[in-house]
Structure 1
Amino acid sequence: MKKIIALVLTVLMAVSVFAACSAPAAEESAAPSEPAAAEGSASAEASADAGTAGGAVDKIKEAGELVLLTNAQFPPYEYLGDDNEPTGVDIEIAQKIADELGVELTVVDMDFDGLIPALNGGKGDFVAAGLTITEERQQSVDFSDEYATSNQMVIVTKDDPKVAAATVEDLEGKTVGVQLGTTGDLFMSEVEGATVKQYKSALEAGMDLANGRLDAVVVDKLPAQSIVANNDALMVYDDVLTTEQYAMAVPKGQSADLLEIINKVLTDMSGEMEALTQKHFDLYSGTATEAE
């Protein structure tokens, strides 16, 4: 009987020793499965990110149209032509981009301050509207290569101008018109004592200046010159307030492939940009006709 008990105890001890030795091995073999799962999750996230970074071109081609968001109140870059349809430098560039993609161009004309929210809300594929590159805007959109350099200028009345020169000091305490949401608007918001009146377009601000409701208008160089060219009562100072660059914008992190096409077209058109700008300046100011 003692021999039997001893044998049983021996077997039990052997089983215990085997179990104790084999348990860590089981844990070690299971442990690598957690990193594997994590790697799979990381790969899935990377794939998802890659999917959102591109694919815009395929969607555009599938839809058969490229949707441009703009504000057609910013000559010569965008304005309404004789047929009341948007035209201008940016519109011609956009048409070349659409041609490069082999699709139709659809132009959506809207208020300037609503362009980036509309872009990020999926209302269009890109923005071209004499849009200045700023750090704030870079937080919400991806910019193309720059294609034009501009300045903020001061428009005043020819007779008895209320602002003596294009300086911050001369703008202090004055009533100044700007286009809502533009860099001119941002600039004037920091001028001490100035009363800033925001307009949907610089053209409207120019009209109010001519009618004596403003002391000055602050707006980009070529739009300023276009406004003055169409109103004999106004003039623009030669001195500049700022220097800035224009670029086109796409939704941030979602349209790298479209941005590549835009940059290609901008490069291809770089040699004709000056002539294109002069053409639309002349058209808007009435010194040329569309037929020319």
Structure 2
Amino acid sequence: MTGPVTPLDVPLFDRGSDLHVHSTFSDGASTVEENLASARDHGMHTLGMVDHVRRDTTYLPDFAAAVRALDGTAGLRVLLGVEAKVLDVAGAVDLPPALPDLDYVLVADHQVPRPDGPAHPRDVRAALEVGDLTAAVVIDDLVEATVASLACYDRVVLAHLFSILPKCGLHEDQVPDALVRRLGQAVARAGAVVEINEKWTCPSVRVASVLADCGVRITLSTDAHHESRVGRYDAYVDAAATEVEARAGTAAATPAH
């Protein structure tokens, strides 16, 4: 196949694609070849291979070469991405300084972005319990950090949006619609994508519906760490996507500008 394929080429709510699959290059249990075979056997047409990176990650050239070699084999499009966490409210993302040509970057909330850097959710929970932090501050900082992180690459997918909140003792229901719309408008302007994530069962139908109303493109992912989970939308994603589709109608098909 010629030329890069971006997540924007994947149809909305497409059960035949999975843009978030990990391998043995980071914390996955299966090789890229095993993941590809599983996707083929499950009748998929597009597979996004991503692995976790940090600023000091050195495996990227080998990972990129291995994934690019698979594109077009077994009749599948194979996309190359990496997953990195947002670090602070300014939107810094934990990416290596030199990146290969990627199809996209998954930006994730693995820790809580604070003005002075990432905080462990355990520490944020403790600060909330003693009143040193409020839920409103944590949620506002998380949204602002996510908005700012959209500038880290020209093709961004937001991974498991708001998955960090339950780890802090918070919930998506505490994120006001106004903040979700703020995020959705920024995502739509950036041409970015938000995934509905099977592993972390997020974002909620409410959040995804508000995002879709803002013109955000919604894709589906498993966050698979084993070949047996690639493309298996059997618990959360299929039901959530169906409901968001029903609520959104055609709104998600016309990105806001």
Same fold (TM over 0.5): no
Structure ranking higher in helix proportion: 1
- TM-score computed with the length of structure 2 as normaliser: 0.29
- TM-score computed with the length of structure 1 as normaliser: 0.27
